[in-house]
A and B are shown apart, each in its own frame.
Chain A
Amino acid sequence: MKVRVHVSLKNGVLDPQGRAIHHALEGLGFAGVNDVRAGRLIELDMADSVTDEALDEMCRKLLANMVIENYRIEKVA
């Protein structure tokens, strides 16, 4: 089972990296970018026997920091 975990900053948490990327895009002359938020994509290859609960726990215990981040689990195949 291939799983993708998308980790992103919560709304309201300032994202200095996203802001720097935004600034760089503008510097390159790209217009019309309103906002940039940078996150992290973690791909996991795991046994089919891994439960949704266990996957959720992995995200909460390690993959995301719940103080500042949200996560979304996407099962690829």
Chain B
Amino acid sequence: MAFSAAVITFPGSNCDRDMAVAIEEICGGTVHRVWHGDAGLPEGLDFIALPGGFSYGDYLRSGAMAARSPVMQAVVEQAGRGVPVLGVCNGFQVLTEAGLLPGALMRNAGIRFVCRDVKLTVETSQSLFTARYFKGQTITIPVAHHDGNYFADEATLDRLEGEGRVAFRYAEPVNGSQRDIAGVLNEAGNVLGMMPHPERMIEEAQGGSDGRRLFESVLGSLGVSA
């Protein structure tokens, strides 16, 4: 069976096409483009991606409105059934606001919008999103965000670290995130939120391809032939 993925578009999403192209290029199969107002998701999805952007103009809080949009109920339900869900940048903000991931993304500590390539350390290869990396590997992935300052209380941070749920850490100061956290996993390990954009680093023409392995990991974990 061919790989089947969905990319959700909210009003104000702007990385949805990049995400769809990355999945198509690397995983093959079918990428469904789903509108936020859709009540449901296609049947039999192998992968759901929430893209970057400024859903609803970041009104109230980044990701807050999108997290309450109709399609998110279906995303929460599919996540509960174990379907891999990736949220990048605004998608990460949406996942925290929807309660699928702990913590919150606050305004960058330096106030400024940060848009540049950053070095990340892969903190675990024991996840379906990072299996094709190795623990401790340094990779370069771009960030582009204003609200990427990850916050959670100390007890939550300790739990995330103890359970191996910090997927990526910034290898340099970027936005003031607690413990330099760039990406976190949910308890079951099938939901990943990250501020850096792996879909923008999939071929040399983009300046590097360190993001490819994330999508290859997802594909590999499912044992689906492209």
Chain A positions within 8 Å of B, measured between CB atoms, are 13-14, 16-17, 20, 61-63, 65, 67-68
The interface residues of chain B lying within 8 Å CB-to-CB of A20 are 111
Please measure, in the bound complex, the distance between the C-alpha atom of A65 and the C-alpha atom of B152, giving whole angstroms: 12
A14, A17, A61, A63 — which one has the most chain B CB atoms within 10 A of its CB? A14
Residue of B whose beta carbon sits closest to that of A18? B107
Q: How many A-B residue pairs have CB under 8 A?
A: 36
Q: Is the interface of B mostly helix, strand, loop or mixed?
A: loop
The reply to whether A17 and B111 form a contact with Cβ atoms under 8 Å apart is yes
Please measure, in the bound complex, the distance between the C-alpha atom of A11 and the C-alpha atom of B109, giving whole angstroms: 16
The reply to whether B176 and A14 form a contact with Cβ atoms under 8 Å apart is yes
Chain B positions within 8 Å of A, measured between CB atoms, are 60-61, 64, 68, 96-97, 102-104, 106-111, 149, 151-153, 176
The reply to whether B109 and A68 form a contact with Cβ atoms under 8 Å apart is no
The reply to whether B64 and A65 form a contact with Cβ atoms under 8 Å apart is yes
Residue of A whose beta carbon sits closest to that of B110? A16
Please measure, in the bound complex, the distance between the C-alpha atom of A61 and the C-alpha atom of B106, giving whole angstroms: 18
The reply to whether A68 and B111 form a contact with Cβ atoms under 8 Å apart is no
The reply to whether A68 and B149 form a contact with Cβ atoms under 8 Å apart is no
